[in-house]
Structure 1
């Protein structure tokens, strides 16, 4: 009975320590951890063996192969793979374009060295260069554009050669160009082409070649390098319509087939007599040998774009253009004759007799008509500018006079001006009626 009363009124306390029932975050500190045994140094000479070190327990935090798998890096792997493929395609495409350009240089370099004293962009003369110096013949302007240059020939100032290749290093750009060319006829499909432009002296050697002491007398004895100006071309029928729309000089010519030429090319000329004199058997054979790779051979003294001023119409110089597509097998044997005819065409134009006066009168009439039209347009523009200047000066004078008047005088001035304008309009209607 006493124990019951003591329990009810707190007379006796339990000797056992109650377990903590509070916050569970401090459950780890309810009991102090047991001490970890450490290695005790053993004095030398004692027979007791040293205690073994406690091995470190492996944690999952340091075991990366257990926390991650290769499946988590699929996207990164695909990105790296695509980058590697694009990089390899870029390298292979750039090398293919360089090989194509070097193949052209090896095939045509000897011909250029035979015809010109200086070829390429090196300081060495063409006679000191070897056939394997393809790098000296061409200059890489970009991964798809290569250029060459030749000078040092009678009747020819210089020749510019431009190789424009397919962008093999960028398949997406090539594909987009192919798609656009399929939907728009004005955009050509990507292909490897060579554009060469020959600039004749045309009697302007003194303006191009520096004078050398003691050669003035010799230069005076030489034949003149001038020839008649005209527009004449041999064009592939696939490019004929496109070229007529793109080039102003070809738009003034007449198109006619010639029985001497293959049926897939046509002649664009200003006069039939010009065709008879220029279409030699050697040129016909060269065009036939070139085949489908040949695009055009143009002799022109007019600008490619329609002139807008008299200066542009009269300042155009004579040029000879050649374009053909590069063969896929790098065999330039069929194209060598047409390129040789291209380099020697200026000599033939200078050596041939002049055209009849009647022929040149018809040719020059087209140029004179264009010059007269441009001069008339220029005079009309000048007259319009003068009219605008007079109107501007008249308006400035009116504003100055109006600003010097008071309100009543300004009102009278405006009413008088309005009446004057009404009388002028009525007079116009009376004249029309």
Structure 2
């Protein structure tokens, strides 16, 4: 028993530290303890790396939280003047922040969504930074979206429309299925760094006539921060099934680059004007032929989605049936394998005769 205990304690005992016979480096002594830093270079590197990673985490977390909170604080007075319940600010992780507002004429809810760069994660930050040198079209940014869900009846027409910065056009097209309904054109009423995405010219004409949008976008202060402004009756991602009538929602979505904390109030005028823009949508009117075309487009899209859903369902059913048949075959093969050799031979001969008869029937046909 003693020998077993001795072996166990020996296994737990760390190997002795290698101390060279001659050591001329820095040395610290205190009573019976001696510390020679040169013998712990690897540990020093590992500790330094850990401290850098931890420091990066806390600095990144603080930076993201400050950016989001500064913007909300700078716009708090506007939200309080527009909503009866203006602020419900929550954080999800260290790069996603949300504010929920409700209680306003023409607006059911406003979701303010911050999607910031992962400053708290050194690995992701390095990956994003490095990818920019490989993919010249990849530009990670701090994104801010103000998603206004309209009350039913505010905008009686179904259409998709938007104004987008030319720099964001490619990103918007790749990330928004609803904007595939539109065609992209320039408009003389807007500054030349913006493009209009509209289903029909009649929609653009009516919106620009009824709203203060032209004046809003003419302000050069907002140009570095404006990404897109869209009106949509469709989901952002292609649905798997056609939407039911009660599932259709109309949204006005303003997408911005998040200003630095020192410039957080630079978008105040823009955000204030967007509320006027939302209210102006009640004045939008469309020609009868445009309304007919818009309805036809949605019927065709719903029919395509329905056909694809039915085709996918048939493919899934066929795959499930094939998997069931394969499982049945495996079970039968396992059962036969357990039988005596004579029984297995009889079954093989019976299957062979059955296969021959099937071939004969095919030849006669």
Structure with greater helix share of residues: 2
Residue equivalent to 2:117 = 166
Deviation at 1:103, TM superposition (A): 1.4
Distance in 2 of aligned mates of 1:392 and 1:64: 73
How does the TM-score come out when normalised to structure 1?
A: 0.63
Deviation at 1:313, TM superposition (A): 9.5
Residue equivalent to 1:260 = 189
Deviation at 1:106, TM superposition (A): 1.6
User: Is 1:417–2:358 an aligned residue pair?
Assistant: yes
Secondary structure of 2:187's aligned partner: coil
Deviation at 1:152, TM superposition (A): 0.3
2:96 to 145, 151, 156: 145
Residue equivalent to 2:294 = 363
Residue equivalent to 2:60 = 93
Cα RMSD over matched residues? 3.6
Residue equivalent to 2:81 = 114
Higher deviation after alignment, 328-337 or 140-149:
328-337
1:278 to 184, 188, 207: 207
**If you compute each CA radius of gyration, which structure gives the higher value, 1 or 2?**
1
Distance in 2 of aligned mates of 1:329 and 1:382: 50
Distance in 1 of aligned mates of 2:35 and 2:72: 56
Say whether the 8 Å CA contact 2:70–2:261 is kept in structure 1: no
Say whether the 8 Å CA contact 2:75–2:265 is kept in structure 1: no
Deviation at 1:420, TM superposition (A): 2.6
Within 5 Å, give how 1:347-386 maps onto structure 2. 347-349=279-281, 351-379=282-310
Deviation at 1:98, TM superposition (A): 2.4
Residue equivalent to 1:288 = 218
Say whether the 8 Å CA contact 1:145–1:163 is kept in structure 2: yes
Q: For 1:82-127, what per-residue CA distance to the aligned partner results, in whole angstroms no more than 9, with x for missing partners?
A: 4344433433332222222221012111111111110222xxxxxx
Secondary structure of 1:292's aligned partner: coil
Show structure 1 runs of 5+ residues with no match. Answer: 1-60, 122-137, 203-223, 400-404, 425-433
Question: Aligned pair count?
Answer: 317
Distance in 1 of aligned mates of 2:263 and 2:315: 60
Deviation at 1:161, TM superposition (A): 0.8
User: Is 1:323–2:255 an aligned residue pair?
Assistant: yes
Indicate how the Cα distance of structure 1 residues 96 and 408 shifts in structure 2: closer, same or farther if over 3 A, else same: closer
Secondary structure of 1:323's aligned partner: strand
Higher deviation after alignment, 311-320 or 331-340:
311-320
Secondary structure of 2:262's aligned partner: coil
Deviation at 1:378, TM superposition (A): 4.5
Indicate how the Cα distance of structure 1 residues 62 and 159 shifts in structure 2: closer, same or farther if over 3 A, else same: closer
Residue equivalent to 2:267 = 335
Q: For 1:363-412, what per-residue CA distance to the aligned partner results, in whole angstroms no more than 9, with x for missing partners?
A: 1221111122233445556677899999999xx9xx9xxxxx99998766
Say whether the 8 Å CA contact 1:296–1:322 is kept in structure 2: yes
1:179 to 130, 138, 143: 130
Say whether the 8 Å CA contact 1:197–1:320 is kept in structure 2: yes
Within 5 Å, give how 1:386-397 maps onto structure 2. none
Distance in 2 of aligned mates of 1:167 and 1:336: 26
Show structure 2 runs of 5+ residues with no match. Answer: 1-28, 333-345
Residue equivalent to 1:134 = none
Secondary structure of 1:233's aligned partner: strand
Distance in 2 of aligned mates of 1:409 and 1:236: 73
Indicate how the Cα distance of structure 1 residues 305 and 88 shifts in structure 2: closer, same or farther if over 3 A, else same: closer
Deviation at 1:159, TM superposition (A): 0.8
Indicate how the Cα distance of structure 1 residues 407 and 106 shifts in structure 2: closer, same or farther if over 3 A, else same: closer
Distance in 2 of aligned mates of 1:229 and 1:178: 41
Deviation at 1:354, TM superposition (A): 3.4
How does the TM-score come out when normalised to structure 2?
A: 0.74
Residue equivalent to 1:245 = 174
User: Is 1:308–2:308 an aligned residue pair?
Assistant: no
Indicate how the Cα distance of structure 1 residues 379 and 423 shifts in structure 2: closer, same or farther if over 3 A, else same: farther
Say whether the 8 Å CA contact 2:67–2:261 is kept in structure 1: no
Say whether the 8 Å CA contact 2:206–2:284 is kept in structure 1: no
Deviation at 1:318, TM superposition (A): 1.5
Deviation at 1:143, TM superposition (A): 2.2
Within 5 Å, give how 1:40-59 maps onto structure 2. none
